[in-house]
Amino acid sequence: MSRFIPNAPPDDRPQQIQDELEYGKLTNKKYLYVSKHAAGEPLPEPIEDEPPYYIYIATYVNYLILIIIGHIRDAFGKVFKPQDYQDLIEQNGYAPWYDGFENFYVRRLKLRIDDCFARPIHGAPGRYIKLFERRALGKGEYEFTGQSMECLNLSSYNYLGFAQSSGVCTDSALDVIDKYGTSACSPRSYVGTTDLHLETEQVIADFVGKEAAIIVSQGYGTNASLFSSLADSKCLVISDELNHASIRFGVRLSGAVVKVFKHNDMDALEFLLRQQISQGQPKTHRPWKKIIIAVEGLYSMEGNMCNLPKLIELKEKYKCYLFVDEAHSIGALGPNGRGICDYFQVSPSKIDLLMGTFTKSFGATGGYIAGSKPIIEKLRLTYITNNYSESVPPPVLAQIISSLRIIEGKLNPGEGKERLERIAFNSRYLRLGLKRLGFIVYGADDSPVIPVLLFFPAKMPVVSRVLYSMKIAVVIVGYPATPLTTSRVRLCVSSALTKEDLDYVLEKFSYVGDLAFLKYSSGIAGGSKVPGQPPRWSIKDVLEVNVEDCKKPQLP
């Protein structure tokens, strides 16, 4: 037992077995699917199932109890254990680092389920993820046994399964260290530009179907620095309410005026556009210099997609610019993995700026901005990261180039196609299974992000811990990352998982669902066996027909 994280235990199993644990072999050709949206068809409205109202009331009561107990503990704690509250009180003339109110949620709610977060791992987060065993000592302290446990990985953003420690991409990254070193050593505009950087930019631009692209060493930083080069206080940015923190931060940095519309509500967007264009800037009523609509391709907490066809229609009608963050959709959606445009069969030229990250589908890190050549050239001069921030390190570039080439079929022909079709199949397979078992899941049929709703904050740790004990690693998210009442488990599907892995997951979920009373669905979002009745299939019935049913154009 040690307070320090142990070194990764050596693994002397044969290479082939280790590879299998990172990326499972396809067990049957039937387990493939091509994801795409039929061109011209309207986007099916995602139906969000609502649990019975008493679930909401109980959820609020759940919070109330947690908050009251938290306050009671605080009240007593401050008297009897003042040393625990040192960080919250003024000391020796210095204000505390943070005030108790700001910190209450963390201290009294999050800390109680701290063991479900930040579980340290080692090795590639592929099909299985290796978690260090640890025992909570309270107050966020842990003791480690030195052992680690392999869990099925439904938590990492490893959509196409490129988180691997062997194979073409790894070889390429290793090779690049010999030829380029480990670091880019300076910002792009100083001496941080090598031939490999320029090549990567061309490869990603071609992949997403734009003329040019700029790469950045971090996805968050890509957004955080971008908007300052696009907008100032006389411009308007219209942002989906569920946009990622990096977009919101970037827009705030730019000083532009921000208006938020209800998530994916195109009528609300149009209303806002009409109002804003006619009203102009506040007070002066001068026309806006420009209006930028910022949305995401695939929302990482909801699993639904933006309504791209409608957005393009609105953007053209109202002469606005459209920015789409494809962090989760690039690679993971579309018959060729080229993201949201590919999925909707829309020409990428209709979108002004396509942003995405390499962190997810490509097993690398960083982000890109792709656009027309004049736009990207100008950004090379005015984009903050280009002059003030580190450039992308070479091994990451190697991973990006090689994974993109595999997806395009230029490297290892056939491998990319299989990865794409596996994630499409796996996503639908797991989603349909969960629906039929009776869970409320959000999002689009083809989305590899599958949020399973728990509602009660207290059920988050239950689900996380029970699944952990069954060797399944999942991510739980609650307030403030989601609305107060909709705490959830977020599953990220990967090509690396086999159909048998998913069967195991479904079986265990079914067990946990019964155990923690999670099967709330009413059937309005589909999945029912008998129309009109809530779906409550047995696991056996689900598995019997799931392969065929999940390949139907619309999930039944």
Partner 1 sequence: MAEHLLTTTVTETTTTTPTTTIPPTLELISSAIGDSFVHYLNKLDQIPGGQIILRYIRSSYKNDPVRSLFELALFIFAVHYFLSSKRKENKADIVKFSKLEIDELIKDWEPEPLVEEVNNLEKWQLSAIPKIKGWNKSHMTLYNEASGNNISSNVVNLASYDFLDLNENDNVHKAAKAEISTAGVGACGPPNFYGTQDVHVRLEEDLARFLQTEQSILYGQDFVTAGSVIPAYLKRGDLCIVDSGVNLAIQKALIVSRCNIEWYEHNDVDHLESILEELKPTLDKEPVRRRFIVTEGLFLNTGDICNLPKIVELKNKFKYRLFLDETLSIGVLGANGRGVVEHYNLSRLEISITIGTFAGSFASSGGFCAGVKPMVQHQRINSNAYTFSASLPPYSAIASSQSIKEIMNERTAAGNSKLIAQLHERTSHLYSKLTSIKTTFFKVTSNSNSPIIHISLSHQYRKALGLPAFYGNTHFLNTGKQARSLNEFSKAYNIESFLLQKIIDGVLFESNILITRSKSILDHENLPVISPQLLIMVNSGASLKELDLLAQTLEIIVNKVCKSVSNEARLLSLEDELLKYTKY
Give 329 or 546: the residue with its C-beta nearer to ligand PLP: 329
Q: Binding to ligand PLP (CB under 6 A): which residues in 361-420?
A: 367
Q: Binding to ligand PLP (CB under 6 A): which residues in 226-255?
A: 244, 246
SS3 263: coil
Strand ranges of the sheet holding 353-357, from the earlier edge strand across to the other edge:
212-216, 367-371, 353-357, 321-325, 291-296, 236-240, 257-261
Which residue of 53, 54, 80, 94 would you call a contact of partner 1, by CB under 8 A? 94
Say whether residue 220 binds ligand PLP (CB under 6 A). yes
Residue 433, classified by CB atoms within 10 Å of its CB into exposed (0-12), middle (13-18) or buried (19+), is buried
Provide the residue count of the chain: 556
Give 310 or 529: the residue with its C-beta nearer to partner 1: 310
Least gap, CB of 216 to ligand PLP (angstroms): 9
Say whether residue 325 binds ligand PLP (CB under 6 A). yes
In one-letter notation, the amino acid at residue 303 is G
What count of other Cβ atoms lies within 10 Å of the Cβ of residue 91? 10
Place of tokens 């209303």: 271
In one-letter notation, the amino acid at residue 156 is S
Least gap, CB of 17 to partner 1 (angstroms): 14
Instruction: Give the DSSP H/E element, type plus range, for residue 130.
Output: strand 128-138
Least Cα distance to 172 among 208, 214, 200, 204 occurs for 200
Q: Binding to ligand PLP (CB under 6 A): which residues in 299-318?
A: 300
For residues 343 and 328, what is the distance between their CA atoms, to the nearest angstrom? Answer: 13
Least gap, CB of 208 to partner 1 (angstroms): 17
- Piece of the chain touching ligand PLP by CB under 6 A; list 96-104, 146-154, 213-221, 521-529: 213-221
Which residue of 156, 200, 229, 359 would you call a contact of ligand PLP, by CB under 6 A? 359
135 beta partners: 143
**Of ligand PLP, partner 1, none, which one does residue 215 interact with (CB within 5 to 8 Å by kind)?**
none
Residues 6+ apart with CB under 8 A from 501: 24, 127, 152
- Piece of the chain touching ligand PLP by CB under 6 A; list 218-226, 283-291, 316-324, 449-457: 218-226
Q: Which two tokens stand for residue 428?
A: 């639908």
Q: Binding to partner 1 (CB under 8 A): which residues in 147-176?
A: 153, 155-158, 162-166, 169-170, 173-174
Say whether residue 47 binds partner 1 (CB under 8 A). no
Give the x-and-dash track for 399-438 against partner 1 (CB under 8 A).
x---------------------------------------
What count of other Cβ atoms lies within 10 Å of the Cβ of residue 157? 21
Q: Binding to ligand PLP (CB under 6 A): which residues in 33-92?
A: none
Binding site for ligand PLP (CB under 6 A): 218-220, 223, 244, 246, 296, 300, 325, 327-328, 357, 359, 367
